[in-house]
Amino acid sequence: MAGMTKDFEPIPLPDYAEYPPGEMQARAEAFRAEIARRHTVREFSSRPVPRSLIETCLRAAGTAPNGANHQPWHFAVIGDAARKSRIRLAAEEEERAFYAGKAGEEWLAALKPLGTDPSKPFLEIAPWLIVVFGARSSASADGVMRKNYYVPESVSIACGFLIAALHHAGLATLTHTPSPMGFLNEICARPANEKPYFVVVAGYPAPDATIPRHAIEKKPLDEIATFFE
């Protein structure tokens, strides 16, 4: 029936795995080391990456925790040269205004150590651009439109899963946020109730890819965490 909500039906936790404490510590350390090898890359190779690899990483992203399990996201996966060119053209236009002063002095000063500028060749060179949209409302399984909850939080967590999955598979990524990015709805044929959040650029790094030294300076644990015990 239209608008009907589902009743609560608990099922046994299907696939939890417990490890001996020593193994837990080793797994935590192995994951830390693996994720610490992820670096945002801005120079990509045009080497092709199979669609099936991206599909598997998107399935991982789709398991992210989210508001009311409405899964308020859509991933527009751009592999065609024409759309990539349109995205580059529109993004560079916005970025030129941003770097010419729209961003303001403080923001531009904060970006100095990253060495970024309005030129975004990676938007045409990388094999895949994954445009991540958050849906303010979306259809339930029975086709009824309903409001979504915690959309930015849900989409950002899914994006984190996606970046981790792509890295784990051996790909380099860049979380690109042209500002404003409303132009992405038209290019990706997404409805107005969806808002673009990120462009996740994915591919092999260029053989001579560099990263800014600034990017490897990470805050120590005692600066990012406070324990109460």
Residues at the site binding ligand IYR, with contacts judged by CB under 6 A: 95, 98, 111, 114, 116, 176-179
Contact 196, 189 (CB under 8 A): no
Closest contact distance (angstroms) between CB of 65 and ligand IYR is 25
Contact 130, 197 (CB under 8 A): no
Task: Give 114 or 145: the residue with its C-beta nearer to ligand IYR.
Answer: 114
Helix (H) or strand (E) holding 34: helix 21-36
Task: Give 72 or 178: the residue with its C-beta nearer to ligand IYR.
Answer: 178
Query: Residue with the closest Cβ to ligand IYR?
Result: 116
Helix (H) or strand (E) holding 197: strand 194-203
Closest contact distance (angstroms) between CB of 92 and ligand IYR is 10
What's the CA gap between 100 and 94, in Å, rounded?
A: 10
Task: Give 53 or 211: the residue with its C-beta nearer to ligand IYR.
Answer: 211
Closest contact distance (angstroms) between CB of 177 and ligand IYR is 5
Task: Give 77 or 103: the residue with its C-beta nearer to ligand IYR.
Answer: 103
Between helix 151-169 and helix 21-36 the angle, nearest 10°, is 90
